[in-house]
Each structure stands twice: as C-alpha cells, then as structure tokens.
Amino acid sequence: MREIVLDTETTGLNPKTGDRLVEIGAVELINHIPSGNHYHVYINPERDVPNEAFRVHGLSTEFLRDKPVFKAVVDGFLDFIGEDPLVIHNADFDMGFINWELGLLQRAAIGNHRVIDSLALARRKHPGGGNSLDALCSRYGIDNSRREKHGALLDSELLAEVYLELIGGRQSMLSLVSSGAQESSGHSARRGVRVPVRPRPQPLAPRLTEADMAAHAAFVEGFGEETVWQDYWGSSSATATG
C-alpha cells in the first residue's frame, strides 16, 4: 500500500483572497514505512509574501522570485502523488490551496475521498489534548528540534512519524535487534518482539523432599497394580532411577 504524507506553505490563509502556494513537500510511505522517496519544490507565488507569512516559513519574495510557477511543476507533482491516499494535517487548509491552484489551470480537483486528515485522527485519539504537529511530536517523543520555522518537506517527514503513531503502525518500522539489546531496553514485550528465554545460571532447588516423594509413592501403591496410574508411575520411577 502506498500513501503520500504531504504539507504546503503559502502566502496566507485564503486562496480566494489572492493567497498562493509557495512550497510543497511530500514523502512516500509503502506499507506504512517511509521509502526514502520524496517530492519537494519551492513555487513562485507571482505576488509578494506578507511579513506575517514570512515569519512563519521564512520564504521571502526575493527567495521565491526565480522559482518555478505552479504551472511549471504541476505535472511532476501530480505524477508523484498518483492516485494514492494523501495524509495531511488539517487537510482542508492544504487541499483548499492545492485545488484552487489546480482550478486556475483548469485541472481536475483532488477528491476528499483520497485525503486522510491526521488532525482529525489526533482529535479522536486525544480529545481535549494539544494536537498541533509540535504538540504531537512532543507527545510521541519525536525529535522536532530542527523545526525552527515551518517547512513543507521537514513537516511532512515529522508528520509521517506522527501518523504512524496515530494509527499504531510504528512497529512496522522497527528492525529486530539482538535479544540482549531488547531485554536491556525493557521494550521487547511492548513492541511485540519475542525474546528467547535464557536458562537460569543455576537451577532452582527442588521443592519436594525425599520424605514427600516416599509418601507419594506409598499413596500411589495403594491404588493397586491394575490401575492406569501405575503405568505412568512405573515409567517415571524408572526414568528417575535410571
């Protein structure tokens, strides 16, 4: 199964009032495992970048001036995402911009049936808790120290890790390590990895005394020689004495 984890950066909050895409980042998951394949592009929005947006993502008008316009990258973008599900945090925002840009080029919109909103997943799993990308990274112990500003590719990489935690699929990313390492971490049982039980350095002392065993033998003999029990008792006695 192929999924695409995707994020965008924009000049503002509303494409209907003239805001445009400035960056798209996406990473590929195969069976919930990052494949290493990704898509990333900066886009010339054909307008100035407001200071409010610049403070969020750090992409200035000057930096974006020589970047390709969306029309020049749309085919490569659509080829990368194919027909596969798209995992997006607060999907309505990103899809609103992507479909607006597609509409400007008279391209077909991407249907909501393809979109998995990780924010909706997080709100169902953690109602009442913080469910921003940073908050979820903190919750799941995901290192987001590089995220000084928003960036579409980095945010997609972080979201891929968060998404796997939300769906309980992060185990598939774990490789088996030596049983000693698993035991020392104390996580082997929680991760579902079977660790072979090591033999005791010294066997436990027997709990039955010789008097206990003699009393049991006398008790069994009281059943008589024709009982089935004697067949088992005789074989075990022979094994014990042989």
Contact 140, 165 (CB under 8 A): yes
User: How far apart (Å, rounded) are the C-alpha atoms in residues 94 and 97?
Assistant: 5
Q: Are 9 and 23 in contact (CB under 8 A)?
A: yes
113 counts as catalytic? no
Nearest-5° angle of CA 72, CA 75, CA 78?
Answer: 135
Whole-angstrom distance, CA of residue 73 vs CA of residue 41: 8
Q: Which of 40, 89, 150, 216 is flagged as catalytic?
A: 150
**CA separation for the pair 70, 176 (Å, rounded):** 43
Q: Which residues contact 45 (CB under 8 A, 6 or more apart)?
A: 10, 11, 20, 21, 22, 64
Query: Quick one: CA dihedral 229, 233, 236, 239, positive or negative?
Result: negative
Neighbours of 90 (CB within 10 A): 15
Q: Annotated active-site positions, please?
A: 150
